[in-house]
Amino acid sequence: MNQMVNRFLIATIFLSAPILLAGPPSYEDPKDGKSVLPPEVQPWCETPAPLEIRIGIPGWMAGLSGDTGVKGLVSSPDVSFDQLLRHLTHVPIVLSADIRYQRWEFFGDGQYMEVGDSVTLPGLLFTNAHLHLKSGLLEGFVGYRLINCDKAALSLFAGARYTYQGINLRVFNNGDPRLPILRRLLGIPNGLEASGSTDWVDPVIGARGKVKIWKAISLYAEGDVGGFDANSGSAFELRRQGRTIMRESVDSSDWSYQVQGGLEFQLTRWMWTQVGWRYLKYDYNQGGFTNKTALNGPFIQGGVNF
């Protein structure tokens, strides 16, 4: 019995030796009849270069809507993105940077702009209002790629968003001669003015991703949430009670939400551009300052990568 087993093992080794030493199978080329090796199957997830640096100049045509105010005096501006150029008082300042080392990412962006708007308030007293709003935004994040492929990427990130708000709000009589006695009886002055500025920093967490859909065209998306009532405290608004203006306490809040997405085009080896939409919502009410506004509009960015 042992002799039979030994003979079987020896025969198996001799018969399989040519197969083991032959290497990968070859195929015959139909053109010239020569044997060629089969093409190697490329992996779907190719790891990108370990270091990438991207510098961009974003252009965000963000409309402004919602409630904003200072010292308890609140206004409700409504400037759509297609009207933004008519209301800008200064050229916006913008910049973005994105650095990746292996799976770690360090990125951020910022912008500063000033807008002004005048409205006629409804009512019998026909009062005008003028709002001049300065807004600054600076955010920085640290992210880690859960998916790190040349064709697709997915990251979780955390960081902070710094916001600056400066407001000058004037409410005044437009000179209409009607009902001046009623204005005096109610104790309504010909004008009210409030101005001031505030700034705060919100902790932020979020996720972003990108997937290549065709050659040099990719689809990207990003979303985050911040604030978490980190800066909430006392808040108030001004209310009228008869002929007296009362200061009324209200609930304070500090939250922010942001989503954006669109298409990215790798124009050359060193140049890229993004076209999409961006939405940022604030819910901030603290210390007499109110910023419950939404920045919403088309987003385009161009830059270089190294």
Contact 134, 111 (CB under 8 A): no
Residue-averaged pLDDT of the chain: 80
Mean pLDDT of 90-119: 89
Return the pLDDT at 297. Answer: 93
Mean pLDDT of 60-86: 80
Return the pLDDT at 252. Answer: 82
Which range among 10-19, 37-46, 215-224 shows the weakest confidence by mean pLDDT?
A: 10-19
Determine how β-strand 253-266 pairs with β-strand 271-286: antiparallel
Return the pLDDT at 284. Answer: 92
Task: For 160-182, give one letter per residue: b (16+ CB within 10 A) or e.
Answer: ebebebbbbbbbeeeeeeeeeee
Task: For 200-213, give one letter per residue: b (16+ CB within 10 A) or e.
Answer: bebebebebbbebe
∠133-135-222 over CA atoms, to 5°? 135
Mean pLDDT of 72-100: 81
pLDDT digits (tens, 9 = 90+) for 20-53: 444 455 545 555 556 656 666 567 899 999 999 9
Share of the chain above pLDDT 90, in %: 45
Mean pLDDT of 96-104: 97
Mean pLDDT of 231-253: 70
pTM of this prediction?
A: 0.75
Return the pLDDT at 268. Answer: 95
- Whole-number Å distance between alpha carbons of 97 and 203: 19
Q: At 2, is the pLDDT very low, low, confident or very high (cuts 50, 70, 90)?
A: very low
Return the pLDDT at 205. Answer: 98
- Whole-number Å distance between alpha carbons of 239 and 35: 90
pLDDT digits (tens, 9 = 90+) for 151-204: 999 999 999 999 998 888 777 666 655 556 555 655 655 666 778 888 999 999
Return the pLDDT at 50. Answer: 96
Which range among 6-15, 77-86, 178-187 shows the weakest confidence by mean pLDDT?
A: 6-15
Which range among 53-67, 106-120, 132-146, 196-210 shows the weakest confidence by mean pLDDT?
A: 106-120
Q: Tell how far CA 203 is from the center of its chain.
A: 14
Is the alpha carbon torsion for 15, 21, 26, 28 positive or negative?
A: negative
Mean pLDDT of 48-77: 86
Which range among 47-56, 73-82, 106-115 shows the weakest confidence by mean pLDDT?
A: 73-82
Q: At 8, is the pLDDT very low, low, confident or very high (cuts 50, 70, 90)?
A: very low
